[in-house]
């Protein structure tokens, strides 16, 4: 990576290049051209080599930008969750409330139009992972996933390293992700044109209802059937 000192003007140019690159890479992957990236940022093509070194380096810089973005938006929940997991005895009500808050934060992020390019980039990396995905995974996705699984385990009395628990955690996360990955299906089936605050809040309400059902079901002894009066 280029290590030249970055001025305030230079930082702005670098930021514009990353934002343009996220759009281009999300749409075309590494087939995106440096010419189109530079044009989208309002920079000349030489700026890419000056600030990043190469297109591959710019691609990795986008991955780091995404990791930093996720960290900025979810690290407070991660720290609270780690404290709750370590507490003895476990505060199950606090764990459930934090799961609710974190789910709502993630839903709001994933229904926002201005995070679409991040989702496109990560979706490409999920299907054809490169060093860029492993950077994001190691820095933010794995720590978040491990801690979410640990909260689920503490709440339900299961083992956090059990494969079934990990898959349960992934299924719960997947329910949130579907509102980004299957965005068009949701809009067409509901008749909505976009996700505004009211619609996003309804999604939060439904997802958290599902989380309550899942947590209740996983906490019950296996083979037990709940009969509501």
Domain residue ranges in the chain? 1-53, 64-219
Residue 8 confidence (pLDDT): 77
Q: Which CATH architecture has domain 1-53?
A: Orthogonal Bundle (1.10)
Task: State yes or no: pLDDT of 6 exceeds 60.
Answer: no
Task: State yes or no: pLDDT of 110 exceeds 70.
Answer: yes
What are the structure tokens assigned to 94, written together?
A: 């606090």
Question: For the CA atoms of the chain, what is the radius of gyration?
Answer: 20
CB 121 within 8 A of CB 25: yes
Task: State yes or no: pLDDT of 225 exceeds 80.
Answer: no
Task: State yes or no: pLDDT of 118 exceeds 80.
Answer: yes
Task: State yes or no: pLDDT of 90 exceeds 90.
Answer: yes
CA distance 134 to 115: 20
CA distance 117 to 22: 6
Residue 222 confidence (pLDDT): 58
Residue 9 confidence (pLDDT): 79
pTM, two decimals, is: 0.90
Percent of the chain clearing pLDDT 70 (strictly above) = 93
- Please check whether the domain covering 64-219 is classified as CATH 3.20.20.70: no
Residue 212: count other Cβ atoms within 10 Å of its Cβ: 13
| Reported confidence tier of residue 16, pLDDT bands at 50, 70, 90 | very high
Residue 10 confidence (pLDDT): 82
CA distance 122 to 137: 10
């Amino acid at each position: 990576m280029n290590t030249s000192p970055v001025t305030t003007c230079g930082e702005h140019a670098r930021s514009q290049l990353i934002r343009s690159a996220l759009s281009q890479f999300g749409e075309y992957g590494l087939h995106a051209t440096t010419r189109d990236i530079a044009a989208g940022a309002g920079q000349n093509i030489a700026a890419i080599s000056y600030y990043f070194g190469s297109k591959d380096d710019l691609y990795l810089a986008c991955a780091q930008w995404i990791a930093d973005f996720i960290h900025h938006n979810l690290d407070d929940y991660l720290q609270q969750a780690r404290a709750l997991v370590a507490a003895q005895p476990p505060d199950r009500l606090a764990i459930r409330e934090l799961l609710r808050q974190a789910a709502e934060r993630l839903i709001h992020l994933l229904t926002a139009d201005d995070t679409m390019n991040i989702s496109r980039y990560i979706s490409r990396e999920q299907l054809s992972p490169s060093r860029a995905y492993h950077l994001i995974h190691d820095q933010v996705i794995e720590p978040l996933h491990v801690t979410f699984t640990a909260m689920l385990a503490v709440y339900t009395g299961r083992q956090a390293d059990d494969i079934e628990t990990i898959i349960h955690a992934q299924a719960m996360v997947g329910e949130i992700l579907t509102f980004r990955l299957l965005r068009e299906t949701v809009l067409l089936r509901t008749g909505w044109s976009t996700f505004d605050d009211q619609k996003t809040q309804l999604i939060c309400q439904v997802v958290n209802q599902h989380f309550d059902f899942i947590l209740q079901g996983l906490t019950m002894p296996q083979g037990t059937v709940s009969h509501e009066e």
